[in-house]
Structure 1
Amino acid sequence: MNFSSRSRPSHAPTEDPNILKVPVLIVGGGGAGLTASVFLSDLGIGSLLVERHATTSIQPKAHILNARTMEIFGHHGLAEDIYAEGSPPENCGAMAWLTSLGGDEPYDRKVLHRADAYGGGALADQYAKASAYRHANLGQRWLEPLIRRHADERNPGGVRFGHELVRFEDDGDGVTATVLDRTTDRTYRVRAQYLIAADGGRTIGERLGIGMVGTATFLEWINLHIRADFSEFIPFDDTVVNRVSSLADDGSLEHCGVVPMGPKRWGRHSEEWTLMFSRTPGSRKAAELDDETVVKMVRRTLKLPQDHEWEVQSISRWPVEGTVAEHFRVGRVFLVGDAAHRHPPSGALGLNTGVQDSHNLAWKLARVLCGDAAPTLLDSYEAERRPVAERVVERALFSLFNQIAFTAGTGVVPGARPEWNRAQMTALFSETPDGRARRAVLAEYFETNRITTAHLGLEMGYDYADAGFVGSDGTQMPEPDPLGLEYIQAARPGSRLPHAWLRRGGERTATHDLIAHGAFLLLAGAQGEHWVSAATELSGVYGPAITAHAIGPRHQLSDPDGEWAALRGHDEDGAVLVRPDGFVAMRLRSASADPTGELRRALDIALGRAVHATPAAGGERHS
């Protein structure tokens, strides 16, 4: 068993040798919990993860991993494995809306709309300018075992499935927990300095009295995981999601998502699929629908031939809400992932936000446990991440309702006579001036779905400037795109370090790949040796290590294409200081008479050691 750590030892209330002592206890073995384990191990911090289920998720669940998440996974050595197991890029760059997969009506098996999505097609250049990493597509059923392998390798014995948190107590100096080993029916106690609640909100938040604020359950979602051959029914091979909106016999539009899940072949040749549909308020509740009824409903919506075989692997039912925890931290307990925010899957924001929660929290715990940051740094977790969660939940809700709304462009009217609605769908696909006009109008409706499939600004543009833990350089934040489509890279304090390609010798390297685990990064201009010298002087002495580079023709790192110079916002005598999570802590726009003192002040703010951290001017947090 390996629970070693460079952090200070826990202070248990007793010296009971039967209590297992560990710096961090993680409760929950889903995406947010498993990544927290990997991140802490890479930072040299021991942890124990307990998960009540015997295995990782048996459901495909979330599957789209955005560029920011893949950037984080690349930093921690997971990205290559995820790309290797996931969908090739040529099979996950678009979204399509179809009228059905089968059927013989004039409006059946038609394409309502098709759009590039998640960095695919015409979006590729825009996304490539923002990150060295592309989106990935791998369902949680396959992703979680992959991350678990990495977590086990880095922390042998520290990842325990089939172990359930029974109770816990935060006494102010640490957390004492009782854990049940469900394989032996025996309990044991754990003493941790901090607890990460990655339990999906099942127990810990409620026990702490943390309320969930927002829109309570308003839909029920039903997911079917099936094995089937849909290759003859799906018209595209590059769609990451196919949405079917079919006209039922009663004249209503019924909706179902058809999502290829691989895992060996992809696109329309996938062997496994997720079929997703929802139950609205007032309809028969999902829990009241037995599995046979669910399968019949989906077959009816898709209009598949009755003799077309599929094998149901599992069926899950879950409530859809749009809520954010009132607090992300109570004492020594921190909420991440679904324990902190819950919302519809629209826009693929849930798992990504949870991973980014854990990433934000892990380096801060590591620095506090190692003694080179003040405990007040941990206050920044909620200050930085809760506004991001609020924005994500708002957008996911709006995106869901927008996806429902734009099908009104078909001309189908809820509650109208079936004959009317059938006539509308027939007219939509007629080769007449009226039909072409209808399709042109419908395309305008569907274009609004860019807020769900092309929201690079939402994925990458969140900012921590006004949380109080980065310095100010007196500049104003660029006005964010309200739709979240455009992402303006800037090296302003509180923003994500801009992506740019640099040269080291004969090879190119991305700015984010220069960040070492747990270390700050200083990037100076060609005349910024004084900043490099100051960083070298302070590295490991006045806080954590600082990796420092001057960038220019005379240095190891060069910027031959001027990409970095166009983004950095300082002159050749200036520099930027970057936190271990890849966010800018301070921009030093020119030379200083006291570079060591300037860097000390920047580190004090970034590590929570300043008495009053000053938000950057004009700061606004958004996601």
Structure 2
Amino acid sequence: MSSSRAVDVLVVGAGPVGLVGALALAQNGISIRVIDKEDQFLVGQRGCGIQPRTEEVYHLLGCLQDYLKIAGTRYAQKIYDVEGKVTKILKNEDLLVQLEPTPEIPFPLPILLGQDASCAILRDHLKKTGVDVELSTELVDLEQDDSGVDVTLVRGGEEEKLRVKYLIGAVGAKGPVRKLVGINFVGETSEQRAVSGEVELSGLTDRDYWHRFGNDKGDKIMWRPIAEDDKLWGMVLMGRTVDYKKAVDDNEYLHECIRDITKNPNIKITKVRSLGEWRLNERVADKFSVGRVFIGGDAAHVHSPTGGQGLNTGTLDMMNLAWKLALVVKGISPPILLDSYHAERAPVVREMLNVTHALADATFKAKDHAATWNRPSTLRQLGVHYRWSTIVRDELEKEGGEIESTTIEPEDVYGAGTSGRLHAGDRAPDAPKLRDVRSGEETTLFSIFNPTQHTVLVLDPSLTDVVAADMGKYVGGVVQIIVVHPLGSENVAELPSVSAVLIDGQGHAHRAYGVEAGAVIAIVRPDGVVGALLRGADGVEKYFSKIFV
């Protein structure tokens, strides 16, 4: 048995969700370890659908360009009849509403990248912070008290004792963290099953399309070309007559299924990269934390993969938690701030389960391929919000009077029915064509936002001195003040008391952040969420009184 030096946070699970949490914490200067019980990094396409909101997270963390270099954007499909002949061709626009980039939304379309490639990118960026993933290291026990968590790890048959301040469980639905702290996983396991994996094929060469086959018995098979590997296809096999276990274990039976469904004897699997039986589980944890232990991603919620929400929801879990945890570890924020993690994320997760359940029903039962696969734009998660949160402040709701937060959950946390002005708790929009007075260079708000600081946007420059004085009360480095002068401003001076002075070259920032509705200051949280929209400078201290000690 060995004992190790204490670290601030132990992250259990090195999938894409755990790695996002680890990277955000490491960039905040929090000492961490990341462990995974597997002896090698997993191969597979799980969680390949990356929604625009997650693209924005990757941009915030500084790794989006690595994704865009290799990710796919091809959704077009060929549909085959029971004789194996093409009967319909669905283009990208038939399956996905094609949105053009706007000043507020620079990344409007989903991308496709397998979990293995995604994790490799995140590990590379984590390594730049000095942190490596520790494989073959399993969490077997934990005990916590008021000041920390004592964990027992096993690696190579040897036990290691470790003391941490906090622990994050992102190891998946079957991981140990949730069970060790007694969190219930409420839901059900469905009879809906499939075989899924990644294979190399012969006899199918058209990689411009996904290929969907079905026979008259209701059995179906789909192959999707994988962008990051020109030999690889993602495969899903399902149906009433398919023996799923036998399809995974018996290569000849698997090919019998392929021939029966496609009516094409030339299509053959030449190599299996990964293949396994999948069964639909729909469950959510009754709470996302116990004491100093937190869960997120599949450890907190599992559901149908239809709609591509899992990885994306887990990513937003971690971004919501990481900045709060970093401030608490540093002693800048009170521990009660961490209560807002469950309060903000749980309603979103519950709505996500409702959405994906409906999509799963359509996918497994419907016969209209276009209707089944056409996904609403809300799944891009750009409308996901926390407007009801007790730690956001929106002074535009009414003129005058004190603004009271509420814990009443809205019915529409995905933003499907929301329109009009920006609200506190919403995703923070981008704004391009901002000229930096100091350097003369053009920049964007998305280039300024970062996961280590709140950003105070002073949209009425006459309030700069007051805001700067208020921010001087807090620890340096956790807030940046950005003064944004309106379109047409001239003879604007640099100010040493703020991080940057900008001119809103085309008025995008003032328009997006509600100046016409009365906003003079906007505060953006480190997770890219609008924390406050304020009518006056006194609201700055009122907002931060719920964030900082």
Tell me whether the two structures share a fold, i.e. TM-score over 0.5. Answer: yes
1:152 aligned residue: 127
Unaligned 5+ segments in structure 2 are: 399-405, 493-500
Distance change >3 Å, CA 113–CA 27, structure 1 → 2: same
Q: Answer whether contact 2:287 2:342 (CA < 8 A) is retained.
A: yes
Q: AA paired with 2:370?
A: F
Query: 1:138 matched to which residue of 2?
Result: 113
**Whole-Å Cα distance in 1 between the matches of residues 2 and 42 of structure 2?**
34
Residues of 1 paired with 2:171 and 2:117: CA distance? 19
1-structure distance, mates of 2:306, 2:322 = 27
Note closer, same or farther for the CA distance 1:382–1:230 as it changes in structure 2 (3 Å cut).
farther
CA contact (8 A) 1:166 1:179 kept: yes
Matches within 5 A, 1:161-172: 161-172=135-146
Rounded to whole Å, the distance in 1 between the matches of 2:456 and 2:361 is: 44
Does the CA contact (< 8 Å) of 1:490 and 1:497 recur in 2? no
1:492 matched residue in structure 2: 423
CA distance in 2 between counterparts of 1:164 and 1:255 reads 38
Report whether the alignment pairs 1:466 with 2:388.
yes
* Equivalent position of 2:194 in the other structure: 221
TM-score normalised to structure 1 length: 0.76
Contact 1:67–1:134 at 8 Å: present in 2 too?
Answer: yes
Moved over 4 A (4+): 126-129, 282-285, 479-490, 505-508
Are the structure 2 counterparts of residues 519 and 540 from structure 1 closer, same or farther at C-alpha, using a change threshold of 3 Å? Answer: farther
- Letter aligned with residue 451 of structure 2: H
1:310 and 1:288, CA in 2 relative to 1: closer, same or farther beyond 3 A?
Answer: closer
Q: Which moved more, 1:561-570 or 1:459-468?
A: 561-570
Distance in 1 between residues matched to 2:248 and 2:4, nearest whole Å: 46
Note the alpha carbon deviations across 1:565-594, whole angstroms, 9 max, x for none: 3322235871111111111111113xx4xx
Partners of 1:375 and 1:472 in 2: CA distance: 23
Contact 1:529 1:550 in 2 (8 A): no
1:598 counterpart (514, 523, 539): 539
1:316, CA displacement in angstroms? 1.5
Which residue identity lines up with residue 86 of structure 2 in the other structure? R
- CA distance in 2 between counterparts of 1:493 and 1:167 reads 40
Please give the alpha-carbon distance, in whole angstroms, between the structure 1 residues aligned to 2:35 and 2:298. 16
State the shift of 1:334 in Å. Answer: 0.6
Gaps of 5+ in 1: 1-15, 265-269, 410-444, 610-623
Letter in 1 for 2:534: L
Q: Which amino acid in 2 is paired with 1:286?
A: K
- The answer to whether the 8 Å contact 1:523/1:551 transfers is no
Cα deviation, residue 132, structure 1: 4.4
Once the 2 structures are TM-superposed, how far is the Cα of residue 112 of structure 1 from its aligned partner?
5.9
Alpha-carbon distance in 2 for matches of 1:501, 1:52: 44
Aligned residue for 1:535? 467
Asked whether the 8 Å contact 1:97–1:243 carries over to 2, the reply is yes
Q: 2:80 aligns with which of 88, 92, 99?
A: 99
1:186 aligns to what? 158
Once the two structures are aligned, what percentage of the paired residues are identical? 24
Q: Give the secondary-structure state (helix, strand or coil) at the position aligned to 2:336.
A: helix
Q: Give per-residue Cα distances to partners, 1:416-456, cap 9 Å, x unaligned.
A: xxxxxxxxxxxxxxxxxxxxxxxxxxxxx734643x2x424
Secondary structure of 1:513's partner?
Answer: helix
Moved more, 366-375 or 456-465: 456-465
SS at 1:501 equivalent: coil
Deviations 1:125-164 (A, max 9, x none): 16775234753321012211221122222134x5211111
Determine the structure 2 residue equivalent to 1:398: 358
Check if 1:581 corresponds to 2:527: yes
- Partner of residue 245, structure 2: 286
More helix by share: 1
1:338 is the counterpart of 2:262: no
Amino acid at match of 1:258: W
Q: CA deviation at 1:390?
A: 1.1
Matched, 1:560 2:531: no
Aligned mate of 1:261, from 222, 226, 231: 226
Are 1:116 and 2:93 matched, yes or no?
A: yes
* Secondary structure class of the residue paired with 2:47: coil
- Alpha-carbon contact 1:521-1:546 (below 8 Å) kept: yes
Alignment of 1:27-66 (within 5 A): 27-66=12-51
2:370 pairs with 1:446: yes
Alignment correspondent of 2:450:
516
Matched, 1:314 2:274: yes
Provide the rounded CA distance (Å) in 2 between the counterparts of 1:489 and 1:258. 41
Q: Which moved more, 1:572-581 or 1:109-118?
A: 109-118
Residue by residue over 1:467-511, the C-alpha shift from the partner in whole angstroms, topping out at 9 and shown as x without a partner, is 21112325299x998996677474311111123323225654332
Question: Match of 2:188, as an amino acid?
Answer: T
* 1:421-460 correspondence to structure 2 within 5 Å: 446-447=370-371, 449-450=373-374, 452=375, 454-456=376-378, 459-460=381-382
CA distance in 1, matches of 2:101, 2:203: 32
Distance in 2, matches of 1:388 and 1:295, equals 41
Provide the C-alpha distance between the structure 2 equivalents of 1:383 and 1:391, rounded to a whole number of angstroms. Answer: 14
- The residue aligned with 2:485 is 551
Compared with structure 1, are the counterparts of its residues 302 and 151 closer, same or farther at alpha carbon in structure 2 (3 Å cutoff)?
farther
* Match in the other structure for 2:433: 502
Which deviates more from structure 2 when the two are superposed, residues 142-151 or residues 504-513? Answer: 504-513
State the distance in 1 between where 2:414 and 2:325 align. 34
* Distance in 2 between residues matched to 1:396 and 1:137, nearest whole Å: 18
Query: Pairwise mapping of residues 356-367 of structure 1 onto structure 2 (< 5 A)?
Result: 356-367=316-327
2-side partners of 1:277 and 1:225: how far apart?
Answer: 12
What SS does structure 2 have at the residue aligned with 1:569? coil
For 1:487 and 1:509, locate their aligned partners in 2 and report how far apart those are by CA, in whole Å: 29
Is the 1:535–1:548 Cα contact (8 Å) retained in structure 2? Answer: no
Q: Which amino acid aligns with 2:178?
A: G
RMSD of the alignment, in Å? 3.0
Which residue does 2:212 correspond to in 1?
Answer: 244
Distance 2:373 2:261 in 1: 22
In structure 2, relative to structure 1, the CA distance for the partners of 1:307 and 1:334 (3 Å cut) is: closer
Deviation track 1:174-231 (CA, whole Å, cap 9, x = no partner) reads: 111111113xx21211111100001103211122222222332332231131112565
- 1:376 is aligned to 336
Moved more, 19-28 or 199-208: 199-208
Number of aligned residue pairs: give it: 520
Structure 1 residue 384: deviation in Å?
Answer: 0.7
Contact 1:175 1:193 in 2 (8 A): yes
TM-score normalised by length of structure 2: 0.86
Task: Quote how far apart the aligned CAs of 1:306 are.
Answer: 3.8
1:367 CA displacement: 0.7
Q: What's the CA shift for 1:374?
A: 1.1
Report the Cα distance in structure 1 between the residues aligned to 2:316 and 2:136, rounded to whole angstroms: 26
What does residue 4 of structure 1 align with?
none
